[in-house]
Structure 1
Amino acid sequence: MSDNSAGTLLDTMPNVFDGLRGKVTPNAPMANVTWFRVGGPAEIMFQPADRDDLAAFLRKLPEDVPLLVVGVGSNLLIRDGGIPGVVVRLSAKGFGEVKQVSDTRIEAGAACLDKRLSAAAHQAGLGGFHFYHGIPGGVGGALRMNAGANGTETRERVVEVHALDRRGRKHVLSNADMGYDYRHSAAPQDLIFTHAVFEGYREDGETIRKEMDAVQQHRETVQPIREKTGGSTFKNPPGTSAWKQIDEAGCRGLMIGAAQMSPMHCNFMINTGNATAYDLESLGETVRARVLEHSGIRLEWEIKRLGNFREGQMVQEFLGRLL
């Protein structure tokens, strides 16, 4: 992506951002956004002020301009060639609100941290949200991928999800409309989640606090939570755990450049210093190839890999193996 590309794109749609209240940044460094701290620039980044500002932007955006929406960037691997088109980043200021809306229900914005949602539920005396205390991400990502931990998943708490489509029209999806499965939602990919309503159950605060503390203690004991990481790298295959397959294939601690499969939890990929996205994705595909060769299991990425490869640095799935 050239330095002039953002200017060129802005020139093709000069009036799109007129009257909007959000922030527009050409050639925005995505390494500042993602938890891996790697990746090339976004051609244009737009941070809408709120839901109405986002809807106004979508109504004006030409349909042929690529659009990507990101939240807190916890499970994103942005490739070194960057992101073409417009990246919409939902900020905590405009999309991070969380509030109790009934005796057992909480509304949270897409940019609300999962940990904050858990804390709000605790304050409201609502059980069933303790698992969010251990998920390093935001509500939007949790809704999209049915995030879960400690035996509970997002689909068990969701009542309805509010979204905007590519033309800025509002949609409300029920739990059934979301089509949840393991680490997956069947909701249309072009929908941008803005907020959602969740339901818990009455529970005393001391019990909730103990459940949250247990989640935190588990994370600190077995996960590299203070590293530059994206959480679980691969989905658990049916009947087994991804970390067990990685470990048995001899990939615990494996490194490519400054990218490493964590010695503490080998399903966590970490940037030990100055890794590139190419290093990280190459490491992931090396692990997939070795697990496939060792056990015949095809691990599926849980981390979302997006954007363009840098010229001459394309990474093939399973390193091009045909097993």
Structure 2
Amino acid sequence: MAPDCEVEGSVIAPIDTYGLRGKLTPDAPLAKLVWFKAGGHADWLFEPADTDDLKLFLERLDGDLPVMALGLGSNLIVRDGGVPGVVVKLGKPFASIEVGDHHTLTCGAGAHGILVASTARDAGIAGVEFMRGIPGTVGGFVRMNGGAYGREVSDVLIDCDVILPGGRLVTLPAADLRYTYRHSALPDAAVVVRARFQGEPGDPATIGAKMDEIGEARENSQPLRTKTGGSTFKNPPGKKAWELVDAAGCRGLRLGGAQVSEKHTNFLLNVDNATSADIEGLGELVKRRVYEHSGVLLEWEIQRVGRP
């Protein structure tokens, strides 16, 4: 058994590490792992060696602690009080991509979207070019029904392998995820480890040209080389979130060290050592101003996790 661990004056529960091959870190800082570069610590951070290692780990927990999977940290605010329970970081062992028969792709949950799209291009598989435009990994795409430039994961997902609380590995067809806009029915503590996507035959040059268009569009419209979290709010039906934010006079608005991007107003930025409270508070301020101006109540697209 691992010893109890002191975290800010409290004791977090021990975890049995016998037989585990991955890395388990108590009181682990998360700011360096998320794009905003802000936020608190995880009670525990587990980096599994492979799927079997993760199954054993979750079986040991037996649902007694909250579990959150972490990919690139691109669509995430980790609150300053840290994340209770265990954060599971899926690294290189979960980043494989295999080309299958009938224009399919089998991808580990840690595979980057741009690498999925590039692998598909090289294999002459069309239909997943949009993943070039999503900053994140497959596990996050599957959980949130990630999408960009007119397509989303629900359009191409065949099924996914998921480890449930308690350590049971199941394969869920896409229909079981009951996808809606940027949402799935996956349980919070379930961890996606693999997904299969259905493409279609295509010409690599044509696919590559489409990917280049997506890359150029992102470069021209989004603040890519900043401390940001991607699109902040969901687009309301028939409307664009950024247009509502801009119309409410929020372009460049600041709170503490956080700012609404002047390049794309649906992006929040950490411009001056912002705390996560600054970033989330700015988002709530923008929501209020948009509602007062247009009567539309924006919904967060960025996930906000942890203790305030």
TM-score (normalised: structure 2): 0.95
Residue deviations 1:276-318 (CA, integer Å, cap 9, x gap): 1011001000000000111111100000000011xxxxxxxxx
Aligned to 2:249: 250
Residues 109, 192 of structure 2: 8 Å contact kept: yes
User: Aligned with 2:12: secondary structure?
Assistant: helix
Aligned to 2:195: 196
Instruction: State how far apart, in whole Å, the 1-side matches of 2:66 and 2:190 are.
Output: 14
- Per the TM alignment, residue 88 of structure 1 is displaced from its structure 2 partner at its CA by 1.1
- Per the TM alignment, residue 70 of structure 1 is displaced from its structure 2 partner at its CA by 1.3
Residues 68, 189 of structure 2: 8 Å contact kept: no
Aligned to 1:316: none
Residues 71, 90 of structure 2: 8 Å contact kept: yes
Aligned to 2:67: 67
- Residues 190 and 83 (structure 1 numbering): CA distance in 2 closer, same or farther, change over 3 Å? closer
Aligned to 2:6: 4
Aligned to 1:178: 177
RMSD of aligned alpha carbons: 1.3
| Percentage of pairs with the same residue | 47
1:76-225 paired onto structure 2 within 5 Å: 76-91=76-91, 93-225=92-224
Counterpart of 2:46, as a letter, is F
Aligned to 1:315: none
Long gaps (5+) in structure 1? 310-323
Residues 68, 188 of structure 2: 8 Å contact kept: no
- Per the TM alignment, residue 65 of structure 1 is displaced from its structure 2 partner at its CA by 1.9
Aligned to 2:50: 50
- Per the TM alignment, residue 8 of structure 1 is displaced from its structure 2 partner at its CA by 3.4
Counterpart of 1:106, as a letter, is L
- Residues 305 and 27 (structure 1 numbering): CA distance in 2 closer, same or farther, change over 3 Å? same
TM-score (normalised: structure 1): 0.91
Residue deviations 1:108-158 (CA, integer Å, cap 9, x gap): 011111111111111111001111111111111100111111101111110
Counterpart of 1:261, as a letter, is V
Residues 163, 170 of structure 2: 8 Å contact kept: yes
2:232 matched to 1:233? Answer: yes
User: Aligned with 2:197: secondary structure?
Assistant: strand
Instruction: State how far apart, in whole Å, the 1-side matches of 2:272 and 2:158 are.
Output: 41
Instruction: State how far apart, in whole Å, the 2-side matches of 1:98 and 1:266 are.
Output: 34
- Per the TM alignment, residue 190 of structure 1 is displaced from its structure 2 partner at its CA by 3.0
Aligned to 1:317: none
User: Aligned with 1:121: secondary structure?
Assistant: helix
Instruction: State how far apart, in whole Å, the 2-side matches of 1:123 and 1:33 are.
Output: 30
Residues 66, 189 of structure 2: 8 Å contact kept: no
- Per the TM alignment, residue 66 of structure 1 is displaced from its structure 2 partner at its CA by 2.2
Residue deviations 1:66-105 (CA, integer Å, cap 9, x gap): 22221111101000011112111111x1111111021300
1:258-273 paired onto structure 2 within 5 Å: 258-273=257-272
Aligned length: 303
- Per the TM alignment, residue 4 of structure 1 is displaced from its structure 2 partner at its CA by 1.4
Aligned to 2:24: 24
Counterpart of 2:11, as a letter, is T
Instruction: State how far apart, in whole Å, the 2-side matches of 1:86 and 1:129 are.
Output: 32
Instruction: State how far apart, in whole Å, the 1-side matches of 2:63 and 2:11 are.
Output: 17
- Per the TM alignment, residue 62 of structure 1 is displaced from its structure 2 partner at its CA by 4.4
User: Aligned with 2:230: secondary structure?
Assistant: strand
- Per the TM alignment, residue 267 of structure 1 is displaced from its structure 2 partner at its CA by 0.1
Aligned to 2:275: 276
User: Aligned with 2:36: secondary structure?
Assistant: coil
Long gaps (5+) in structure 2? none
Q: Which runs of 4+ in 1 moved over 3 A?
A: none
Instruction: State how far apart, in whole Å, the 2-side matches of 1:188 and 1:5 are.
Output: 27
Instruction: State how far apart, in whole Å, the 2-side matches of 1:268 and 1:288 are.
Output: 13
Aligned to 1:285: 284
Counterpart of 1:135, as a letter, is I
